[in-house]
Amino acid sequence: MEIVSKEILAPRIVKLVVKAPAIAAKAQPGHFVVVRRSEKGERIPLTIADFSREAGTITLIIQEVGKSTALINAMEVGESFLDILGPLGTPYPIEKLGTVVAVAGGLGAAPLYPKVKALYEAGNKVITILGAQTKDLLILQDELKAVSHQLLITTDDGSFGHKGLVTALLGQVLQTETVNEVITIGPVPMMEACCNITRELGIKTVVSLNAVMVDGTGMCGGCRVTVGGETKFCCVDGPAFDGLAVDFKELRLRQRYYSAQEKEAYHNHHHGGEGCKCHAN
């Protein structure tokens, strides 16, 4: 569980390659792990953004959004996680479909990358749309470019690529291409907006949901979502689901449950005398 390499991809976004041979041996696109840094540490679910069976490593990309992720991002090469549970979740089905459009918003590029790579290697024509608020927050451009027939980039402020939202580019692509499936991963409003476009056109759309998770094994119910009128658990039934059947309104409400506590813990960590050194370098 030792960190073998660390790279800062963007402000507060870190890529860690971690020695975890047993997990790397079984990892598939769509799987995730739950990590703990220390005995009292929060359990953090993280997508397996890449893996190497040969090297026995998995790649994790972590955005600092609270105290626990700040502590993980402060870890250095040679340090180890207390434990990593996984691989968890249901792998994303990889089939030869024809033309697939993959849409990533912000950190969504991390879970999207292994799926795009597998779809590309399975012989699909892959058009990838990568978006972020600003140039500095674009991640995995080179990696996605290497496994896409076309990579379109957009930023909200126009600092790189097109100016505007990924949905504008998705609409343009769908006007000119016959598309068999869309896969979209990013903030919930973005995935919902993509689904609103594809629903009109009747295009199958897969989303990957990052609902609040606790145990990651289907026991606590924390990650439940409603899909097609049925209760599903993101950690065992997902995280990938039929986006056209997801109850996004309920998901948005559930995601706000713990935001106040998260903000408080983060504030106390950086400013409350816990002596953090997260931004020391």
Candidates 15-23, 79-87, 181-189, 217-225: pick the segment binding ligand FES (CB under 6 A). 217-225
Interface with ligand FES, residue 238, by CB under 6 A: no
d(CA 51, CA 59): 6
Does position 216 interact with ligand FES (CB under 6 A)? The reply is yes
CB of 60 to ligand FES, least distance (A): 18
- Asked whether position 223 contacts ligand FES by CB under 6 A, the answer is yes
Least distance in angstroms from the C-beta of 209 to ligand FES: 11
Nearer to ligand FES, 111 or 131 (CB): 111
Shortest distance (Å) from residue 52 CB to ligand FES: 27
The answer to whether residue 222 forms part of the interface with ligand FES (CB under 6 A) is: yes
Amino acid 61 reads: I
Residue 233 is a binding residue for ligand FES (CB under 6 A): yes
For the segment 30-89, give every residue that binds ligand FES (CB under 6 A).
none
List, in order, residues 6 or more apart from 279 with CB less than 8 Å away. Answer: none
Residue 233 · residue 218 · CB < 8 Å: yes
The answer to whether residues 280 and 70 touch, using CB atoms and an 8 Å cutoff, is: no
The pair of three-digit structure tokens given for residue 33, joined into one six-digit string: 């792990």
- Selected binder of ligand FES within 168, 220, 245, 276 (CB under 6 A): 220
Query: How far is residue 83 from each of residues 21, 34, 241, 259, measured CA to CA in Å?
Result: 13, 8, 28, 25
Least Å distance, CB 69 to ligand FES, is: 17
Residue 253 interacts with ligand FES (CB under 6 A): yes or no: no
Stretch that binds ligand FES, among 52-60, 78-86, 92-100, 219-227 (CB under 6 A): 219-227
Closest approach, Cβ 217 to ligand FES, in A, equals: 7
Asked if residues 106 and 133 have their Cβ atoms less than 8 Å apart, the reply is yes
Q: Which residue has the tokens 């390499």?
A: 5
Q: Is 164 in the site for ligand FES (CB under 6 A)?
A: no
Exactly one of 139, 179, 235, 240 binds ligand FES (CB under 6 A); that residue is 235
Task: Give the pair of three-digit tokens for residue 262.
Answer: 């998260």
- Quick one: which of 218, 245, 262, 276 contacts ligand FES (CB under 6 A)? 218
Closer to ligand FES by Cβ: residue 14 or 209: 209
Cis amide linkage into residue 87, ω under 30° from 0:
yes
Contact assessment for residue 159 and residue 134, using Cβ atoms and an 8 Å cutoff:
yes
Taking each helix axis as running N to C, give the angle between helix 188-201 and helix 166-176, from 0 to 180 degrees, rounded to the nearest 10.
20
Its sign, for the CA torsion 103, 106, 254, 38, is positive
Q: Within positions 196 to 215, which residues make up the interface with ligand FES, using CB under 6 A?
A: 213-215
Instruction: Tell me which residue of 184, 239, 182 sits closest to 30, measured CA to CA.
Output: 239
Please return the burial class of 54, using the count of CB atoms within 10 Å of its CB with bins 0-12, 13-18 and 19+.
exposed
Only segment of 1-9, 70-78, 193-201, 218-226 that touches ligand FES (CB under 6 A): 218-226
Q: How far out from the chain centre does Cα 120 lie? A: 18
Among 77, 146, 201, 219, binds ligand FES (CB under 6 A): 219
* Residues forming the site for ligand FES (CB under 6 A): 213-216, 218-223, 233-235
